[in-house]
Chains A and B, each alone.
Chain A
Amino acid sequence: SQKIEQNSEALNIQEGKTATLTCNYTNYSPAYLQWYRQDPGRGPVFLLLIRENEKEKRKERLKVTFDTTLKQSLFHVTASQPADSATYLCALSSYNTDKLIFGTGTRLQVFP
């Protein structure tokens, strides 16, 4: 069955450093990969979408890579700030479907 795992349950880093989160998947060939941010007790908020034929996508301090050979996506937050502290979820989907499958999530904590 499809499995989507994010590298660690929690990641603690110092303010100003780059946080790197990993999303690995098996038994699936997604056409699209999305990243969401979720704060406690709130709904997820969309951050970035990357397609299978794209290697990298950037938005402000965020960067996403997508390696379909390794079946992995990396999500980077550069110059991290305490306000970046949240749970980050990767999510995969295929062509011609509304179904989005979420990864296990990584809780990022940025310390001043």
Chain B
Amino acid sequence: DTEVTQTPKHLVMGMTNKKSLKCEQHMGHRAMYWYKQKAKKPPELMFVYSYEKLSINESVPSRFSPECPNSSLLNLHLHALQPEDSALYLCASSPRTGQGSYEQYFGPGTRLTVT
């Protein structure tokens, strides 16, 4: 299995809602990532988990809360989002951690709209 899966594909939420995005990989990868991508812009790194521990937080607002329950799963909990948080949220994984020499495998993304 060489796939990263993400659910849901699309999500519409109000500014007072609480929702979660889910990401799963069964490749035994040790690093997992969350990226945010706005239209016509490159992906921007949000969080990195290394061996299930949060290793990088790119100064992301606390309304985004990541969680890594086990080596295959990554969640992003959303609360009190703003309309400007509407974007494509991408999950990725990489075989090794702490080494920049490995490619990342991306999921198809969750298209989030905040109303």
Chain A interface (Cβ < 8 Å from any Cβ of B): 30-32, 34, 41-46, 49, 51, 89, 93-105
Contact = CB atoms under 8 A, between A and B. Distances in A.
Given A41-B111, A102-B42, A95 B100 contact: yes
A105 B44 CA distance: 13
Interface string B79-115: 0000000001010101001111101111111010000
Given A98-B33, A98-B100, 15 more contacts: A31-B101, A34-B103, A41-B88, A43-B107, A44-B43, A44-B106, A49-B103, A89-B42, A89-B43, A95-B100, A96-B100, A97-B99, A99-B56, A100-B45, A100-B100
The range of chain B's interface size is: 20 to 34
A43 B101 contact: no
B100 A46 contact: no
Interface of B: 4, 31, 33, 40-45, 48, 50, 55-56, 88, 90, 92, 94, 97-101, 103-109, 111
B103 A46 contact: yes
Decide if the interface of chain A is mainly helix, strand, loop or mixed: loop
Contacts, number: 71
A41 B43 CA distance: 12
Given A41-B88, A44-B43, A98 B106 contact: no
Given A43-B90, A45-B106, A98-B55, A103 B100 contact: no
Contacts of B98: 96-98
Identify the interface centre among A30, A96, A100, A101: most chain B CB within 10 Å of its CB.
A100
B101 A98 contact: no
